[in-house]
A = this chain, B = another copy of it.
Amino acid sequence: VTDIIEELATPARPDDGTDLKSRLTAAARGLLEREGLAGLTLRAAARASGVSHMAPYRHFADKEALLASVAEEGFDDLARALDRAAAHGAPGEPPGMAEGVAYVLFALANPSLYRLMFGAQLLPCARFPGLIAAAEAAFARCIAAARMVGYDCPETEGAAPSPVAAALWALVHGLSSLAIDGLIPLPDDPAARRAFIVQVLAASLTPPGNPPASVAA
């Protein structure tokens, strides 16, 4: 049965011009979206690409390398989504809010991919420099958004991010992660969902006793 699903989603085209490496990555991403992390196997990706189960080893050192390739695509897509949000932000909202909402909505739209990007222990092992670069590129958007909010984020040379940039990234990442896990249930209605996300992000930026920020409630 699962074989049929695989075939329908990504029909085997052994000689369709595009190189096998990108075909395998695309097949892996499809498997991840449709069947979750458990369904993302080297052999299934090979089957979906119409090659033998050993062919992927020509392009990926091991399964982890294939996962890293998928995760890197995910960070690239996330960065693009943040850039799109920054380009046309909502007029009534505080600066940086459009990017924060776009971040959370991206995670909710791609839960398995988002989980792979962060929770799969791909980053800390320090293999895959391309993956780390993609993650840091996405992080750079968070720093830019923090500057738009008005925070003073000093240039960080390499290692340590400034505490305020870290705080904003932690906020949007934490909300995304908890919402994906269902621990912070979000409204189903798109408008209500967006409003709740704006409320959460604005809440941690307005401590009690301080004047509330300008939020379009």
Which of A41-49, A51-59, A166-174 is near enough to bind chain B?
A166-174
Mark out the residues of chain A between 167 and 213 whose CB falls within 8 Å of any chain B CB in the assembled complex: 167-175, 177-178, 180-185, 196, 199-211, 213
Chain B residues with CB under 8 A of A7: none
Question: Are B203's CB and A123's CB within 8 A?
Answer: no
Mark out the residues of chain A between 147 and 169 whose CB falls within 8 Å of any chain B CB in the assembled complex: 149-152, 159-161, 163-164, 166-169
A124 adjacent to chain B (CB < 8 Å)? yes
The residue in chain B whose Cβ has the minimal distance to the Cβ of A198 is B163
Chain B residues with CB under 8 A of A151: 203, 207-208
Q: Which of B163, B173, B204, B213 is within 8 Å of A168, CB to CB?
A: B204
Q: Which of B121, B160, B174, B208 is within 8 Å of A169, CB to CB?
A: B174
Given pairs A161-B184, A163-B200, A167-B201, 7 additional interface contacts (CB within 8 A):
A118-B178, A121-B181, A124-B180, A159-B185, A160-B185, A163-B203, A170-B170
Q: Mark A100-123, 1 if CB is under 8 A from B, else 0.
A: 000000000000000100110101
The residue in chain B whose Cβ has the minimal distance to the Cβ of A182 is B124
A139 adjacent to chain B (CB < 8 Å)? yes
A135 adjacent to chain B (CB < 8 Å)? yes
Chain A contributes a number of interface residues (CB within 8 A of B) equal to: 53
The residue in chain B whose Cβ has the minimal distance to the Cβ of A126 is B182
Chain B residues with CB under 8 A of A208: 149-152
Question: Are B170's CB and A207's CB within 8 A?
Answer: no
A39 adjacent to chain B (CB < 8 Å)? no
Chain B residues with CB under 8 A of A207: 149-151, 205-207, 210, 213
Chain B residues with CB under 8 A of A185: 159-160
Q: Which of B115, B150, B160, B209 is within 8 Å of A150, CB to CB?
A: B209
Question: Are A200's CB and B123's CB within 8 A?
Answer: no
The listed residue with most B CB atoms (<10 A of its CB), out of A37, A118, A174, is A174
* Bound CA–CA A210/B213 (angstroms): 10
